[in-house]
Copies of this chain bind each other. A is one copy, B any other.
């Protein structure tokens, strides 16, 4: 099954700070979408909304502080349900390296191509948030196409 893969390095940053941006509502709202609600502990569901028509509900399935965050998509577009999103973090010199994986897509549909590029721009938003205090979450996100 095809996966979406990405790698970024967040400069002058310890993994714990990136982990915070992935595991708190304020952090997540600072880089992915301002409309982030729910609870962020293991077993909880976080609701990410992007204005009409929808968004994603993520069940937090694994947390390892400063090292790993794993979600299962429990509601959202049909192609996303049952897929997993994982962030692996590690220190590398003055950088926190983020290895990102959105796995479990059943087919490489055109929407997957779109989501791959969109994830890249959101990960750059995560990098900017932690480095500068200012990300570009929806609805202020980078527009990449007619699909936004």
Contact = CB atoms under 8 A, between A and B. Distances in A.
Interface string A107-119: 0101011101100
A39 to B, nearest CB: 29
B8 A117 contact: yes
A95 interface: yes
Interface in A65-85: none
Interface in A88-133: 92-95, 97, 99-101, 108, 110, 112-114, 116-117, 120-121, 123-124, 127
How many copies of the shown chain assemble into the complex? 2
A108 B5 contact: yes
A117 B6 contact: yes
Counting contact residues on chain A (CB < 8 A from B), the size range is 20 to 34
Residue in A94, A117, A124 whose Cβ sees the most chain B Cβ within 10 Å: A117
Interface in A1-54: 2-9, 11
Contacts of A92: 146
